[in-house]
């Protein structure tokens, strides 16, 4: 519930910016909007999952130390935190998948147009590679939760690692290492 308004606002800003881009035409414009909006929503969900994971670990440490104080009195149970974390990861994974697929379709359409300003968008692009790596981490988290029975601290740590990858992709890679994603 918390990331939805933020993702909606950022998505609206992206769509407004999109209208100012004359180099994006027709269906490419729609795919670009779906791509950006779904990835922003996914990253907001992953941020929430990370916060829930960190909260889970803090609550767990307090219970394990048998020092039921600050966090224990103010936070939901470990089971509730674990379920909320898994739900946030599921939603984020779904939107990340939609974002990656729509980005691939959009890139294919843009490259087919023959625009010389468009750089080749492949897995060799660090931004795309790290986004796929992020998808793999969260896919493993969902697989591990469902098939291996991982939950709790393991899921919390995976959520934190996944969000660290998101942050890596957002800041240093976006600004310093990519050529095709420098909007």
Helix (H, G, I), strand (E, B), or coil: what is residue 21?
coil
pLDDT tens for 113-132 read 766 545 566 777 788 888 89
Q: What pLDDT, on a 0 to 100 scale, did the predictor assign at position 178?
A: 66
CATH number, domain of 71, equals 1.20.120
**Residue 122, domain extent:** 3-177
Number of domains in the chain: 1
Tell me, yes or no, whether 58 lies in a domain: yes
The CA distances from residue 29 to 22, 112, 113, 170, in Å, are: 10, 14, 13, 22
Tell me, yes or no, whether 69 lies in a domain: yes
Check whether 18 has a pLDDT greater than 70.
no
Cβ–Cβ under 8 Å, residues 141 and 162:
yes
| Reported pTM | 0.79
Tell me, yes or no, whether 183 lies in a domain: no
Cβ–Cβ under 8 Å, residues 92 and 118:
no
* DSSP state letters, 124-178: TSHHHHHHHHHHHHHHHHHHIIIII---HHHHHHHHHHHHHHHHHIIIIIIIII-
Tell me, yes or no, whether 26 lies in a domain: yes
Task: Please tell me the distance from the alpha carbon of residue 105 to that of residue 23, in angstroms, as a whole number.
Answer: 17
Average pLDDT (44-48) is 92
Task: Please tell me the distance from the alpha carbon of residue 48 to that of residue 59, in angstroms, as a whole number.
Answer: 16
Strands (DSSP E) contained in 18-109 are none
Check whether 150 has a pLDDT greater than 80.
yes
Tell me, yes or no, whether 37 lies in a domain: yes
Tell me, yes or no, whether 182 lies in a domain: no
Task: Please tell me the distance from the alpha carbon of residue 156 to that of residue 158, in angstroms, as a whole number.
Answer: 5
By mean pLDDT, which of 91-100, 111-120, 128-137, 168-177 is the weakest? 111-120
């Amino acid at each position: 519930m918390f990331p939805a308004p933020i993702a909606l606002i950022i998505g609206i800003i992206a769509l407004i910016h999109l209208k100012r881009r004359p180099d994006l035409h027709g269906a490419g414009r729609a795919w670009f909007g779906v791509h950006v909006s779904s990835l922003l929503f996914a990253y907001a969900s992953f941020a929430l999952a990370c916060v829930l994971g960190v909260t889970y670990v803090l609550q767990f440490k307090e219970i394990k130390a048998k020092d039921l104080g600050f966090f224990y009195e103010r936070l939901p149970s470990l089971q509730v935190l674990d379920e909320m974390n898994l739900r946030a990861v599921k939603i984020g994974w779904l939107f990340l998948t939609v974002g990656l697929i729509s980005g691939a379709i959009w890139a294919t359409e843009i490259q087919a147009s023959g625009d010389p300003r468009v750089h080749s968008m492949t897995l060799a692009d660090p931004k795309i590679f790290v986004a796929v790596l992020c998808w793999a981490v969260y896919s493993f988290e969902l697989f591990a939760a469902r098939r291996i029975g991982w939950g709790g601290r393991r899921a919390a740590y995976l959520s934190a690692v996944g969000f660290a990858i998101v942050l890596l992709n957002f800041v240093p890679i976006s600004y310093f290492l990519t050529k095709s994603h420098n909007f």
